[in-house]
Amino acid sequence: MKVAVVGATGMVGEVMRRVLVERNFPVTEFIPVASERSVGKEIEFNGKKYTIVGLQTAVEMKPDIAIFSAGGSTSLDWAPKFAEVGTVVIDNSSAWRMDPTKKLVVPEINAKELTKEDKIIANPNCSTIQLVLALSSLHEKYKMKRVVISTYQSVSGTGVKAVQQLENEIKGIEGEMAYPYPIGRNALPHCDVFEENGYTKEEMKLAREPQKIFNDRTFSVTATAVRIPTAGGHSEAVNVEFENDFDLNEVRQLLSQTPGVVVQDNTAANEYPMPIFANGKDEVFVGRLRRDETQPNTLNMWIVADNLRKGAATNAVQIAEYLVENHLV
């Protein structure tokens, strides 16, 4: 299995390399790909050194799978070139997510839709992945009508420059700013760029992507996305209105039986999900389960996951695993 990681030197690319090793993905030849300024440098994968190559060289090497984490414009330009030579591209950018000809995949929910014809597969937004995984079994049982979500997102979701900004602020060092304001001791209601409707691009991803993943337009999602000074892990306060009523104990049971979900919901022992516990883990953690007492059939919940792992790298590798296990590559 010849595997390329495009954007191998980036924050998500680094985690992708780690996850491939941790999960014993059957890599027989590893191809690290990065921008021209990194070409020729060495990078480590599974205890060995590899020389970074450029995109054209990588295409010519015809990998079986190319996992992309190199930004939308790179994906738009290069994913089709890899696909043309028979490579299956799993893309972590927003470039292909809402393309009606491309699948948007969270393996636990809709990997079964994949076929050999799918040469470009979209990895959802990090905040979307943890949301839909936590809601999947509940939607199946009670049928969602409306979801109201507020996110509390780590600076690692922005990238290395943002992590450095936070570290500089903690140390009292002046440096390059990833955000228009300080992030330390602050909360920025501004994730990604603002669109004409007043929502940010991140908020609109949360509104649109769940419908595509569930292949269901009968429910709606409205979102407010906030950046907070945590180093890793996204948190979400979610209010979900169902068509049918639910029993809280049954909700807990359904969630605990959902693959990839861990229930942490014991307020008597101060047990609830937090980024500090989710950091470095692949599961989605759910807690603070309670009825919304202001209207019927409505649940409040708190969802936390490591945005670089299940929110990005791990989900992409799980897609690759499904392809291999089902002989689709």
Locate the domains of the chain by residue range.
Answer: 2-124+312-325, 127-307
Are the CB atoms for 5 and 17 separated by under 8 Å?
Answer: yes
pLDDT mean over 319-329: 96
Mean predicted confidence (pLDDT) in 103-131: 98
For the segment(s) 127-307, the CATH number from 3.40.50.1100, 3.30.360.10, 3.30.70.360, 3.40.640.10 is 3.30.360.10
Measured on CA atoms in the order 102, 107, 113, 116, is the torsion positive or negative?
positive
Architecture of domain 2-124+312-325: 3-Layer(aba) Sandwich (3.40)
In 3D, which of 158, 173, 145, 185 has the Cα closest to residue 71? 158
Render pLDDT for 266-288 as a digit per residue (tens, 0 to 9).
999 999 999 999 999 999 999 99
Please, which pLDDT band fits residue 125 given cuts at 50, 70 and 90?
Answer: very high
Q: In this structure, which long-range contacts are made by residues 15-19, counting pairs with CB atoms below 8 Å and at least 24 apart in sequence?
A: 15/308, 15/309, 15/312, 15/313, 16/67, 16/69, 16/312, 16/313, 16/316, 16/317, 17/43, 17/44, 17/45, 18/313, 19/309, 19/313, 19/314, 19/317
pLDDT in tens, 301-314: 999 999 999 999 99
Q: What is the mean pLDDT of residues 135-150?
A: 98
**Which residue of the set 126, 139, 191, 327 is catalytic?**
126
Helix, strand and coil content of the chain, in percent to the nearest 5, comes to 35, 25, 40
pLDDT digits (tens, 9 = 90+) for 173-218: 999 999 999 999 999 999 999 999 999 999 999 999 999 999 999 9
Q: Evaluate whether 179 touches 188 at the Cβ level (below 8 Å).
A: yes
pLDDT of amino acid 14:
95
Quick check: is 234 catalytic? Answer: yes
Catalytic residue among 190, 191, 234, 327: 234
Is 190 an active-site residue?
no
DSSP of 256-312: HTSTTEEE--BGGGTB---HHHHTT--SEEEEEEEE-TTSTTEEEEEEEE-TTIIII
